[in-house]
Amino acid sequence: AQSVTQLGSHVSVSEGALVLLRCNYSSSVPPYLFWYVQYPNQGLQLLLKYTTGATLVKGINGFEAEFKKSETSFHLTKPSAHMSDAAEYFCAVSETPGNNDMRFGAGTRLTVKP
Amino acid sequence: EPEVTQTPSHQVTQMGQEVILRCVPISNHLYFYWYRQILGQKVEFLVSFYNNEISEKSEIFDDQFSVERPDGSNFTLKIRSTKLEDSAMYFCASSVGPVYFGPGTRLTVL
């Protein structure tokens, strides 16, 4: 069954610094990959998704992620962190177009220091 | 932009009581889901629903849980006899591709 591992339950960066949140997946078929963000006391919001095609995916709020099949990775990056980026980030994997089998990683809490 | 809505936002109940969490998925979506997140833990899949029946469920989704789509718009999760460990945030979601989540219902079992 598909699964996701997020390395680092907590990442802390300074405002303006590079954000790198790591995600590795396991899947028996070409995967569909997602990053979701959860702000305090809110639901999960889709940041970006990879289905097929271009391996570098751009999302909202300046985030992007690159699908690397050889490394089974889908790391999330942002060149310059803002205070408003502080949230919990979840990587997820699905093996079906309907995504009815989505599985989440444990999440990474991003803290941004002034 | 269409969104998934959930009611109530917060539900407090006594152990052993039945609760029904309600969701209105996005109208043209075909798949419906319930996930839960215990405080400080990962988001866990509970159940997916397609074509008026459960398509997949996790080991968490035992006989105490049930789902229903009673009409063309609502999607409900019922917990028959709540336990303390059912306290969590419950997220409804729907999809016809990427999954879109509702804001969640915080369930507190006392």
Q: Which two tokens stand for residue B57?
A: 């469920």
| pLDDT confidence band for A99 (50 / 70 / 90) | low
Predicted confidence (pLDDT) per residue in A57-98, tens digit: 999 999 999 999 999 999 999 999 999 999 999 999 988 776
Query: Chain B, 33-92: which have a CB under 8 Å from a chain A CB?
Result: 33, 35, 41-45, 48, 50, 55-56, 91
Helix (H) or strand (E) holding B47: strand B43-50
Put simply, the answer to whether B96 touches A46 (Cβ < 8 Å) is no
Put simply, the answer to whether B98 touches A105 (Cβ < 8 Å) is no
Q: Of A102-106, A109-113, B75-79, B105-109, which range is least confident? A: A102-106
How many residue pairs bridge chain A and chain B with CB atoms within 8 Å of each other?
57
Closest partner residue to B91 (CB to CB) among A34, A43, A105 is A43
CA distance to partner chain A, nearest, from residue B41 (Å): 7
- Reply yes or no on whether the pLDDT at A41 is more than 80: no
Per-residue pLDDT, A35:
95
Q: Is B55 left (phi over 0), alpha (psi -120 to 50) or beta?
A: alpha
CA distance to partner chain B, nearest, from residue A71 (Å): 23
Per-residue pLDDT, B39:
85
The rounded average pLDDT for each run of 10 residues, N- to C-terminus, in chain B (110 residues) is 90 97 93 90 88 89 94 92 96 87 94
Inform me whether the C-beta atom of residue B27 falls under 8 Å from chain A C-beta atoms.
no
Per-residue pLDDT, B71:
85
Per-residue pLDDT, A5:
93
Q: Is B69 left (phi over 0), alpha (psi -120 to 50) or beta?
A: beta
Q: Which of B99, B101, B105, B108 to mutate to test the interface with A (most CBs of A within 10 A)?
A: B99
- For A75-88, b/e burial (b = at least 16 CB within 10 A) is bbebeebeeebbbb
